[in-house]
Structure 1
Amino acid sequence: MPEEQLKAFLEAVKADPSLQEKLKASKNADAVVVIAKESGFSVSTDDFSKTQSALTEEELENLAGGNWSSCICQDTA
């Protein structure tokens, strides 16, 4: 289920410039999770970590104009 939610969120990001802007402004993975939850998706930082390895850097960059991959890669400690 979490993987399906994450995939749905990624599709929503691709289609929604306002979500892309929110992600560009996010500072860490926790902020991305908050954005996802506010958008109706049930995801966690662990979901992003697990899926990140399955996505290429180019795919991540394309999701939000080049900034999203850096926001989900940062240490959340």
Structure 2
Amino acid sequence: MAIEQLKDFFEKVKGDSSLQEKLKAAKSPEDVVGIAKEHGHVFPENQFPLSAKELEAVAG
């Protein structure tokens, strides 16, 4: 399920400052999906559960 993949990904983000920096530089949910995929977490862009503002808050 996409939500579980997202939760797992953000758990990984908490402990990885370089990944946090990549997410801060992301301009769209699609960018975040690509970054997540690079790190083994896959979920479709059209099911991304966060808006750009929510993403910014989560990423830092």
Give the structure 1 partner of residue 21 of structure 2. 21
Q: Does 1:3 align with 2:38?
A: no
Separation in structure 1 between the aligned mates of residue 38 and residue 9 of structure 2, nearest angstrom: 11
Separation in structure 1 between the aligned mates of residue 10 and residue 47 of structure 2, nearest angstrom: 12
The count of residues paired between Structure 1 and Structure 2 equals 57
Return the index of the structure with the highest Cα Rg.
1
Does the Cα contact within 8 Å between 1:6 and 1:47 map onto a contact in 2?
A: no
What's the C-alpha RMSD, in Å, of the aligned pairs?
1.9
Aligned-partner residue type, residue 6 of structure 1: L
Distance apart, 1:43 and its partner CA: 1.4
Q: Identity rate of aligned residues, in percent? A: 54
Structure 1 runs (4+) deviating above 6 angstroms are none
Query: How high is the TM-score relative to the length of structure 2?
Result: 0.75
Q: Which runs of 5+ in 2 are unaligned?
A: none
Q: Which runs of 5+ in 1 are unaligned?
A: 66-77
Separation in structure 2 between the aligned mates of residue 41 and residue 5 of structure 1, nearest angstrom: 6
